[in-house]
Structures are given as structure tokens and as C-alpha cells.
């Protein structure tokens, strides 16, 4: 099992090494000396990865729970370290802590940043940040649809019918599904870049923002984030952030379906309902407070709400200045997240649906003690174990949120910064609340200890919490 983990992780690291040649070539053409950093890192990582692959080459073992948990953690941790290397050795003067923070934030598509002065940074460096978010988004979808259902993490087994790994040859199934997934993900990204270009973005900005929009990552090439662009670009972003937060199995079905009924995923309707239910009151509150005219209020409200709910983390302006009501709505939005099987983080829509149905069933049982009621999700009966998995995830999420808030507070951060920092890390949203890490700030002034706490929080949130926590259980290692 460790040999197989090294083998697969080596392939992933080799792929990252090869892609480093893209920003290296860009910097070389533009005369930026950082091309040497990317090129040399690519060579070193590539050689080490190839040696690891050849040394660990064996017949792949049967897929098991233990193998799955170790593999998922190994891939995400090693990919984060590899992606951080060119950042740490670049000319941007980043410390190892900052480089790891920026890399983990990118790979997990969180979007929190410690960088200031993005407008003047080398194109190759900015492109690498966008690329690792794009790769992270693709990995998140594949993990959510092919691994987490088998590992029974947080109720994801509801998608086991779409992605079971219990077939005789799960690796063949993974390859076939990955090709279809990659094709769809690439197509949406290309359409997004084209739409951004037609809306007025420069080609470089369009490519970078397309990668970080579809991956719901939120890295930008400007300190002002999407506030640097006009209204039409914000509307394009809303569309593609929404697509990135959709269940990709449903999108794959939509590409093949003859009728809308064949696509059916209850998450889609609920997610759009959440967008409107949160954005409209915020927009009207801005109009009533004479902050904006109705058209501007609608655009900025919808854009920022969709950005936070989908855990993209873009901002068109500092929405923490919109008043207490708007801040409360955004704090609620940070919990929610997009659909399962998407690039989004957060609690996720399917869990909200299952929790609502469970509550409704529990109330019915109180009213009719002798009645028989079932929890259903999209017409499918939900087992008690699945409801238990969802409840366990939510309890673990809230417990970690409390512990991380206390840990961040112990580093000297104020309560709002500590709380919203812990929340944005676990939900992979990006910006927090307050003057320090809010949409108008960044994480650069935080102490290194706080940054490492947030790094762990981002990985926990991206790997659905239980996938990492299981590794600290003695029972897991007891054969």
C-alpha cells in the first residue's frame, strides 16, 4: 500500500513539474529572471518524481478504505509542497511559511492570499497561482465523485451510484470517467476565458480569471480582485462561478440528456434558491440605505453573494461596509458552499437538503409516533447511516471551527478575525471579515503560527474533515 501511494503521488508531482514549464516559458519570453526558478524546480521535481515512480512501480493493489484515505492525504499534501517550491524561491521574497500558505490556499481553491502588489508581479508567477487553483478544482471534482463516496465521508456515499469503486477494475473506471470530466472542465474553462475576453478583459487576465473562476478559487491578478473590472465582467463571472459550483455529474448528464428530466439533481434548484434568497434582501437593503441605485445594488449583491456561497472568494468591493445586516448575511453565506461533485467547498447543498429532510421527518414522528416516515433525497431513500454521516460531519465542522477560533485567538488575533479566519479556512471561501482579512485586506500581517493553523484548516476543509481526522485515530493504523 505505501508503495502504491508513492507510485500514484509520484505521477501527480511529475505532472505538476511539467506544467511549471508553462510559467517558465512565459517569464523567459518576457525577460523575467524567475523563469530560471520555474525551470530548475521543474527539473528537480520531475527527476525525483520519475525515480519514485520507477522505484515504486508494482501491480496496483485492490482498492481499500485504508489505501484510499492514505492516498487522498498524500496527494494533497505533496501537491501543496511541490506547488510552493517555485513560490518560495522566486524573486517575490516569500518566506517558506508564506509560500506554503499561498500554495495550500491555491491547491484547495480557498483563495486566501498573503501577497500585496499583484498588479506589478511577474506574469509567470501570477499564472502559476491561477494554474494551481485550476488543477486543484479538477482534483476536487475527481476526489468528490470517485473517492469520497467509497470512503463514506460526510454522507458522500449518496453519490456511490455515480462513482462506485467496487468494480473489478476501479482504475479503468477512474480513467474513463476522468477523461470525460477533464473534457467538460476544459470546455467550461475555455468558454469562460472567451466570455471574459469578449466582455473586455485582456487575454492574460481572461485566461487567469477563467481558471480561478471555474475552479471557484478566487485568485486574481489584481489587488482589487474583480473590483478592477466593469459590470459586464462581473455578470460573466456570476455565470461561470455558478457553473463551477454545479454538480459535474449533472453537467455531464446534461451534455448527453435529451430531456431536462434526465439531468435532475435537487442541489441545482436549492443552490439557485439560496443565491436569490440571500442576494435580493442585501440588494434592497443597499437601495433603502441610499448606498446604490437598484441596478448597481443588484449586480454587486448577486456577484458577491454568489462568490461567497460558491466559495470562490472574489470581491467587487468591500461588502463589510454595507452595514450589519449585509455582514450577517455574508457570514451565513460562508457556511453554505456549492453542490457535491463541484469545485466548491463549504458544508455543501446536499447536506443542507438531507439535514432539512431529517428535521422534517423527526417532527413528523413527534406528531405521529406510530407513523412510518423516510428521509428522501431526490426521490431516493436515505439510510440511517448516511444521515449519521452528515450529522457527524456537521458536528466535527462546528467543533473544529470552535477549536481553530480559540487557537487563532491565542496568537493575538481579535475575535472577528480569529472566527472568520477559521470559518473561511474550513469552508475554503478565501476572504474573512474585518479590516485585517476581509475582502479589502489579506493574510500577510498574520503571525506565522496563525498561518500554519489556517493551512491545516484549509486542508481539513478541502478533504471533508473526516478524511484527515481518520489518520490520527490509532484504530486506523491497527491492522
- pLDDT, averaged per 10 consecutive residues of the chain (479 residues), comes to 78 90 92 90 91 76 73 88 92 89 93 89 93 88 67 56 42 65 89 94 94 92 88 93 87 65 73 93 89 88 94 89 91 89 86 86 81 75 79 91 94 92 92 87 91 94 85 75
Question: What is the dihedral sign for C-alpha 215, 221, 222, 228?
Answer: negative
Per-residue cell: 251: 453537467
pLDDT at 402: 95
Per-residue cell: 193: 476565458
pLDDT at 464: 84
Alpha-carbon distance of 18 to 20, in angstroms, equals 5
Is the separation of the CB atoms in 140 and 35 below 8 Å?
Answer: no
Per-residue cell: 162: 455515480
pLDDT at 265: 76
Is the separation of the CB atoms in 429 and 111 below 8 Å?
Answer: yes
Interstrand relation of 376-377 and 380-381 (parallel, antiparallel or unpaired): antiparallel
Q: Which of 278, 397, 292 is nearest to 327 (CA)?
A: 278
pLDDT at 170: 44
Alpha-carbon distance of 463 to 472, in angstroms, equals 14
Total-model pTM: 0.89
Neighbouring-strand partners of residue 381: 376
Neighbouring-strand partners of residue 376: 381
pLDDT at 251: 79
Amino acid at each position: 500500500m505505501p508503495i502504491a501511494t508513492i507510485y500514484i503521488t509520484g505521477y501527480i508531482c511529475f505532472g505538476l513539474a511539467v506544467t511549471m514549464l508553462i510559467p517558465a516559458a512565459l517569464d523567459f519570453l518576457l525577460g523575467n529572471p524567475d523563469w530560471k526558478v520555474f525551470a530548475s524546480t521543474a527539473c528537480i521535481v520531475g527527476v525525483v518524481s520519475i525515480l519514485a515512480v520507477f522505484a515504486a512501480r508494482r501491480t496496483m493493489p485492490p482498492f481499500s478504505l485504508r489505501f484510499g484515505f492514505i492516498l487522498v492525504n498524500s496527494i494533497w499534501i505533496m501537491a501543496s509542497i511541490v506547488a510552493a517550491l517555485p513560490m518560495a524561491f522566486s524573486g517575490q521574497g516569500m518566506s517558506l511559511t508564506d509560500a506554503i500558505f499561498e500554495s495550500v490556499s491555491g491547491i484547495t481553491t480557498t483563495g486566501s492570499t498573503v501577497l500585496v502588489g499583484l498588479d506589478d508581479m511577474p506574469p509567470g508567477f501570477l499564472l502559476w497561482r491561477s494554474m494551481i487553483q485550476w488543477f486543484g478544482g479538477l482534483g476536487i471534482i475527481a476526489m468528490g465523485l470517485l473517492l469520497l463516496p467509497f470512503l463514506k465521508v460526510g454522507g458522500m456515499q449518496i453519490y456511490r451510484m455515480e462513482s462506485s469503486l467496487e468494480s473489478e477494475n476501479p482504475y479503468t473506471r477512474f480513467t474513463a470517467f476522468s477523461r470525460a470530466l477533464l473534457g467538460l472542465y476544459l470546455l467550461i474553462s475555455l468558454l469562460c476565458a472567451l466570455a471574459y475576453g469578449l466582455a473586455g478583459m485582456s487575454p492574460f487576465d481572461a485566461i487567469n480569471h477563467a481558471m480561478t473562476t471555474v475552479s471557484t478559487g478566487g485568485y486574481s491578478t489584481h489587488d482589487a480582485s474583480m473590483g478592477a473590472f466593469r459590470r459586464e465582467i462581473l455578470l460573466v463571472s456570476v455565470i461561470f462561478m455558478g457553473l463551477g459550483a454545479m454538480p459535474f455529474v449533472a453537467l455531464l448528464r446534461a451534455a448527453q440528456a435529451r430531456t431536462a428530466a434526465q439531468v435532475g439533481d435537487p442541489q441545482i434548484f436549492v443552490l439557485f434558491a439560496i443565491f436569490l434568497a440571500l442576494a435580493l434582501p442585501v440588494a434592497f437593503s443597499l437601495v433603502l440605505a441610499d448606498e446604490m441605485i437598484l441596478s448597481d445594488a443588484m449586480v454587486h449583491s448577486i456577484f458577491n453573494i454568489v462568490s461567497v456561497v460558491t466559495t470562490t472568494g472574489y470581491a467587487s468591493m468591500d461588502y463589510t461596509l454595507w452595514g450589519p445586516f449585509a455582514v450577517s448575511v455574508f457570514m451565513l453565506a460562508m457556511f453554505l458552499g456549492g453542490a457535491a461533485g463541484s469545485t466548491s467547498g463549504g458544508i455543501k447543498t446536499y447536506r443542507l437538503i438531507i439535514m432539512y429532510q431529517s428535521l422534517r421527518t423527526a417532527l413528523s414522528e413527534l406528531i405521529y409516533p406510530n407513523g412510518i416516515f423516510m428521509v428522501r433525497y431526490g426521490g431516493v431513500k436515505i439510510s440511517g447511516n448516511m444521515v449519521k454521516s452528515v450529522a457527524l460531519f456537521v458536528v466535527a465542522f462546528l467543533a473544529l471551527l470552535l477549536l481553530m477560533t480559540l487557537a487563532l485567538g491565542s496568537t493575538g488575533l481579535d475575535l472577528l478575525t480569529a472566527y472568520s479566519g477559521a470559518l473561511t479556512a474550513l469552508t475554503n471561501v478565501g476572504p474573512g471579515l474585518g479590516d485585517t482579512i476581509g475582502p479589502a485586506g489579506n493574510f500577510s500581517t498574520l503571525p506565522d503560527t496563525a498561518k500554519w493553523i489556517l493551512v491545516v484548516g484549509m486542508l481539513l476543509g478541502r478533504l471533508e474533515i473526516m478524511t484527515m481526522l481518520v489518520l490520527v485515530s490509532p484504530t486506523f493504523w491497527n491492522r
